[in-house]
Amino acid sequence: MTTVAQYNFAYLDEQTKRMIRRAILKAVAVPGYQVPFSSREMPMPYGWGTGGVQVTASIIGPSDVLKVIDQGADDTTNAVSIRAFFAKVAQVETTTRTAEATIIQTRHRIPEKPLGKGQILVYQVPIPEPLRYLEPRETETRKMHALEEYGLMHVKLYEDIARHGRIATTFAYPVKVEGRYVMDPSPTPKFDNPKMHMSAALQLFGAGREHRIYAVPPHTEVASLDFEDHPFTIQHFPEPCALCGAREVYLDEVILDDHGGHMFVCSDTDHCEDRRGAGHVGPLGVAQEAAE
């Protein structure tokens, strides 16, 4: 058994963690505002969640219970690696169960089960600047945020409707936080946007490559941008989860064979398992007792 002595607790040195915590505090104080921070090299490539990992490393304590999801699943490479990383460098308890976790680091999803008081959701963010698509100059986008000039954001939505007849943006759908800053909710599906609104959990966003941290404190207004005659709507799936029969959840398409066979299943694997454990069965599922 190796000792943890080779690593500082949670990998980052204490000075760095203090620096990141200061950025987080500022982000919490100014909801939706992108706070610059001095992002560190992490033992994983950019794009693997270096921003989220640094945020998690700065807030995690020995008594925390960590859950990591990638596209809703606990068992993909990214999720497994990050969980293993913190299990090793912080020796914290890990879990796949949403309700048991105190910190949930996520890439691309918000768990289906509503988060509660005391829970922290840490998002891995690739591009934090929602205005980047139309205005490449960072000096200009900062000014636009400062002066609340957000007309450009609607230009993007206008383009969507003009081209597709509806707002076709389905992920990274821009939101306005507490009536002030427009924010990119990271590439989560717009299905999850309503979960951000007035959530009891603290939501932290870390962009490692872009050196930015931002936050949505608990019980904060988060409104998805839209037009009066094209209001914001979330995706609806015509069929329920094939395994657990859940409706009004976000589904992934799973290809079953080479002949076009496919099924839709919960993207949130923990939620699906939970339901099946409670006896719910979908059209293609089998009751859990029978499977075992």
Partner 1 sequence: MTAEQPLLRVSNLAKYYGSRLGCADVSFELWPGEVLAIVGESGSGKTTLLNALSATLEPSAGETLYRMRDGQWRNIYDLSEAERRFLVRTDWGFVHQNPADGLRMTVSAGANVGERLMAVGDRHYGNIRATALDWLGRVEIAADRIDDQPRSFSGGMRQRLQIARNLVTGPRLVFMDEPTGGLDVSVQARLLDLLRGLVGELGLAAIVVTHDLAVARLLSHRMMVMKNGHVIESGLTDRVLDDPREPYTQLLVSSILQV
Residue 45 CB contacts under 8 Å (≥ 6 apart), including other chains: none
Please name the residue that has the structure tokens 């490393």.
57
* Cβ at position 174, least distance to partner 1 in Å: 13
User: Cβ of 155: how many Cβ atoms within 10 Å?
Assistant: 14
* Cβ at position 144, least distance to partner 1 in Å: 9
Known catalytic residues are 32, 241, 244, 266, 272
Which residue number, 42 or 153, has a Cβ lying nearer to partner 1?
A: 153
**Hey, what are 258's tokens?**
């080479």
* Cβ at position 189, least distance to partner 1 in Å: 22
Residue 89 CB contacts under 8 Å (≥ 6 apart), including other chains: 4, 7, 8, 9, 10, 11, 57
Rounded-to-5 percentages of helix, strand, coil across the chain: 30, 20, 50
Q: Give the residues lining the site for partner 1 (CB under 8 A).
A: 134, 143, 147, 149, 151-152, 154-155, 158-159, 161-163, 226-230
DSSP 98: G
Which residue number, 178 or 226, has a Cβ lying nearer to partner 1?
A: 226
Residue 184 CB contacts under 8 Å (≥ 6 apart), including other chains: 125, 127, 128, 129, 130, 172, 174
* Cβ at position 157, least distance to partner 1 in Å: 8
* Cβ at position 225, least distance to partner 1 in Å: 9
Which residue number, 85 or 173, has a Cβ lying nearer to partner 1?
A: 173
**Hey, what are 119's tokens?**
């829970």
Which residue number, 145 or 275, has a Cβ lying nearer to partner 1?
A: 145
**Hey, what are 284's tokens?**
């293609």
Which residue number, 165 or 260, has a Cβ lying nearer to partner 1?
A: 165
CA distance 260 to 29: 50
Residue type, 145: H
